[in-house]
Amino acid sequence: MAQKKSNVCVVKHWQDAPKLNESDLADDLNRHFYYTLGRDKVGESKHYLFQALALTIRDRLVARCRATKQHLDQQKTKKAAYLSLEFLMGRALGNAILNLDLEEQIESALSEYGTNLEELESAEHDAGLGNGGLGRLAACFLDSCASLALPVIGYGIRYEYGMFNQSIEHGAQIEHPDKWLREGHPWELSAPEQAKVVKFFGNVETHTDKQGRVHHYWVNTQDVLAVPFDVPIPGYRNGVVNTLRLWKSEATDEFNLKEFNQGSYSEAVAKKNLAEQITMVLYPNDASENGKELRLRQQYFLSSASLQDILHQWTEQHGTDFSDFADYHVFQLNDTHPSVAVAELMRLLLDEYELEWEAAWSITTTTMAYTNHTLLPEALEKWSVSLFSRLLPRVLEIIYEINARFLAEVALKWPGDIDKQRELSLIEEGPEPQIRMAYLAIVGSFSVNGVAALHTELLKSGLFNSFYNLWPSKFNNKTNGVTPRRWLAHCNPELAQLVTEKIGEGWQADFSEIQGIRRFYDKAAFHREWQQVKEHNKVKLAKLVESRCGVQFDTDMMFDVQVKRIHEYKRQLLNILHVIALYDQIRRGEVKNMVPRCVLFGGKAAPGYHMAKLIIKLINNVANVVNKDSAAKPYLRVAFLPNYNVTAMETICAATDLSQQISTAGKEASGTGNMKFMMNGAVTIGTLDGANIEIREQVGDDNFFLFGVTAEQANQVRQNYNPSEIIESFTPLKNTMKLLASGHFNLFEPNIFDDIILSIQSPHDPWLVAQDFESYFDAQQRAAQSYTNKTLWNRMSILNTAASGTFSSDRTISQYSEDIWRLKPMQ
Ligand SMILES: *Cc1c(COP(=O)(O)O)cnc(C)c1O
């Protein structure tokens, strides 16, 4: 007897979400393809079929998402909100299918269309709403929160244009707009009825009531509407679906009406642009602030809309009694980007809900937690007081009040110490006074964390030392991690299967189990299988490199890879100098012990970052010379893969032999690319920087190619640095610099690399390229020699994967949850 389906989607428990079965899946796919999208045959564009499949899966996600929400509404449990200006999600299809365990059903449904999953997956645009590591971390965290059944919502911005697409023309980076929404974004659901109003500009009026209480009114504002779009975040096979809520800015009707009444209808509509500009484009700067007004507008827009959203939900349930709000809510600030939330939460509680200062401050400082991501001075956000007073006058008043009360506390700790006050003030004095956003975040938060052990120690002893002395217990470390679902199970299915054959499939949910493969590290049969998987992955990467760069990578050669944002501190320059040194040796006929290698670079430079762009140009020019030279062919190939993004990384990390993590010690807060490579069995050549230190501790120093000065030594060296002497004293470096200076890589472009040459020779080079060259060169030789011993290399590779358990973002998120958020998993 056919069972009547219920249309009522109210469920008692999140695990009771309607289970849509196999025949439904094929039916739904047809329905979405023929009716929702109105297609009738499979044309040239795979995109419609991709969309139909995404909608089919979204149906299943939405059912579980609603159930997760209803469950949370019924249980009175604490929730966390992760506030981030960036979420570098990449593609969602493969990840959703993996987490929902739908692969077999879908392949069978797709066979009717004469296509397969792999083909449809390639039709999805990356959601590139982030620059690099910081944004990708937010994405990995969302996967882990859902997989650990933690009640966490992500809040971000629905940029119309994500991270720019990069092409390489004549060796140089060209940026192209990333209109990722052009063909629609099938995963999202908008909720216009939950839109919030965000205020800008205007002025503050005060009124003292009969009780003597001062009321502040922020008036004559220009209001912008924040419209939420919800993206479902599925947990790994646990029925949980959390939410990433992305805000889009729109003009309010009122905004238009004012103008309309003045008779200028067209102008009124045109003004919509001003409001809609806010979420138009992601700023493409990684690890550097650019001080643009629109960026501050984005930050405040995200912070205000997200806080209003949560306060609104609270008052719906509890009225305006906020006395135990902090027992049920916590906010994690992903870097200082959303740190204006500290002052905005105060404003909402004071002005909108009429709390007293002390009560509001107590709520703020027990719900806000701040993650620092960098020690680089150029990345520390500061906003000019004058900009703030124009754009956010009421918020500035509140920052002043926070500062006054804070400085009173400083005076108690360090009586009479005016320098201390000046040093710690939220306002930096000078001709153009600035607000120090990191200080606002620290003062307003109960937790301040770094993202790797070394990084946290450097925060405590350096950048934030005085704050550490004031509040030592606020400071804690949470070493970053990456999700093993995307970064092993999904991106390396062959390795995943091999691992599962040996130790079962438990590792996908509990990645500490990955250490179980350690017992095979000496088994010849396992080595053969391990090596074969790597070989297959290298074939795939070689195809990608051939098609995108026209360079042939030979899979017998060592794949030596550095992909990440291009930045001087990450030292792509050190890597390309080594390539030049190898090339120079080849030209001299010094090839006796040379181990053949393919060197792959990838990464985007911030459009305004001259040196980073010049480094890209140098890499491409060197690649051109090397790849054309038949003498070099047996030993060396070099390629720059354009448009490095999450999807490219999925292919790259599975195929890499040697992972380059070569930043100047003390500069890379953690790194997460290093962890993706390690999980996939790459061996690291690296400095004692960021999480490299912990990677080496886990895998053992025999299985890591260490080089370079320590962070402490680097500071010593900088005192008295003489690169010319260093260059002169090490022949391979001397020859390399000579060849570079001779113009060999820029024959028809005279002098273009002068800035690079000068930076290496400068006694003020903060990145110490010349300093670390010899040690790097030596480590590269050790790596190459190890690679020629297949047994040794396989052993190292297996041990790296086996030791990567702690770098799962599940471990990181468990620590955030237990130490900072104090959440209970849903059950
Ligand atoms: C992981 C990742 C990063 C971060 O790489 P690092 O080497 O840690 O700088 C940047 N971009 C993308 C696309 C990534 O997947």
Domains in the chain: ranges and CATH = 8-75+92-125 (no CATH), 82-88+136-478 (3.40.50.2000), 555-789 (3.40.50.2000)
260, pLDDT greater than 70: no
The per-residue pLDDT for range 42-68, each reduced to its tens digit, is 665 789 999 999 999 999 999 999 989
What is the distance between the alpha carbons of residues 105 and 21, in angstroms, rounded to a whole number? 9
Tokens representing 650?
Answer: 């999925």
pLDDT, tens only, 471-493: 999 999 999 999 999 999 999 99
Residue 5 confidence (pLDDT) above 70: no
Residue closest by Cα to atom 10 of ligand 1: 132
Count other C-beta atoms under 10 Å from residue 269's C-beta.
Answer: 13
pLDDT band (50, 70, 90) for residue 3: very low
pLDDT digits (tens, 9 = 90+) for 31-45: 999 999 998 876 657
Single-letter amino acid code for the residue at 652? I
What is the atom index within ligand 1 of the atom nearest the CA of 645? Answer: 13
For residues 826 and 71, is the Cβ–Cβ distance under 8 A? yes
- Following DSSP, what letter does each residue of 457-481 receive, concatenated? HHIIIIITHHHHHH-GGGEEE----
Distances (CA, A) of 407 to 247, 342, 428, 438: 35, 17, 13, 16
Pick the residue whose CA is nearest to atom 11 on ligand 1.
Answer: 132
How many Cβ atoms sit within 10 Å of the Cβ of residue 457? 14
Cβ contacts of 740-746, under 8 Å, gap ≥ 24: 740/577, 740/580, 744/625, 745/580, 745/618, 745/621, 745/622, 745/625, 746/621
Q: What is the mean pLDDT of residues 535-564?
A: 98
Backbone angles phi and psi of 250, in degrees to 5? -140, 160
**676 belongs to the catalytic site:** yes
Query: Among the listed ranges 155-159, 283-287, 695-699, 815-819, which one has the minimum average pLDDT value?
Result: 283-287
Q: Which residue among 87, 88, 644 is best mutated to probe the pocket of ligand 1, counting the most ligand atoms within 8 A of its Cβ?
A: 88
User: Residue 114: its pLDDT value, please?
Assistant: 87
**pTM of the prediction?**
0.97
Q: Is 672 in the pocket of ligand 1 (CB under 6 A)?
A: yes
Paired tokens of 54: 């995404």
Per-residue model confidence (pLDDT) at position 755 = 98
Q: Is 373 a catalytic residue?
A: yes
Closest ligand 1 atom, CA of 646? 13
Q: Would residue 570 show up in a list of annotated catalytic residues for this protein?
A: yes
653 phi/psi in degrees, rounded to 5: -70, -25
Using the structure block, give the residue that is written with the tokens 């930045």.
567
pLDDT at residue 259 in the model:
60
pLDDT for 273 equals: 83
- Cβ(671) – ligand 1 distance below 6 Å: yes
CA 372/CA 742 separation, integer angstroms: 43
Q: Quote the CA–CA distance of 98 and 467 in Å, as a whole number.
A: 44
Distances (CA, A) of 476 to 151, 451, 785: 22, 9, 40
In angstroms, how far apart are the furthest CA atoms of the chain?
92
Tokens of 303: 């912070």
Q: Which of 478, 676, 795, 811 is catalytic?
A: 676
Which of these is catalytic: 329, 474, 567, 570?
A: 570
Tell me the residue length of the chain. 827
Around 83, how many Cα atoms within 13 Å sit in the side-chain half-sphere?
32
Whether 299 contacts 155, CB under 8 Å: no
Can you give the pLDDT at residue 268? 76
646 in contact with ligand 1, CB cutoff 6 A: yes
Beta-carbon-side half-sphere exposure of residue 723 (alpha carbons within 13 Å): 20
pLDDT for position 278:
97
CB 583 within 8 A of CB 623: no
For ligand 1, say whether the CB of 564 is within 6 Å of any of its atoms.
Answer: yes
Q: How far is the CA of 637 from the centre of ligand 1 (A)?
A: 23
672 is catalytic: yes
The pLDDT tens digits of the residues spanning 332-377 come to 999 999 999 999 999 999 999 999 999 999 999 999 999 999 999 8
Active-site residue, selected from the candidate residues 672, 684, 736, 812: 672
Å from CA of 367 to ligand 1 middle: 29
How far is Cα 637 from Cα 642, in angstroms, rounded to an integer?
Answer: 16
Residue 112 pLDDT class (50, 70, 90 cuts): confident
Query: Tens of pLDDT along 704-737?
Result: 999 999 999 999 999 999 999 999 999 999 999 9
Mean pLDDT, the chain, integer: 95
Is 633 a catalytic site residue?
no
Helix (H) / strand (E) element for 811: namely: helix 809-815
Q: What whole-number distance in Å separates Cα of residue 118 and Cα of residue 136?
A: 23
C-alpha distance from residue 816 to each of 86, 353, 372, 431, 445 (Å): 19, 30, 14, 40, 14
| Inter-helix orientation angle 646-655/524-549, to 10° | 140
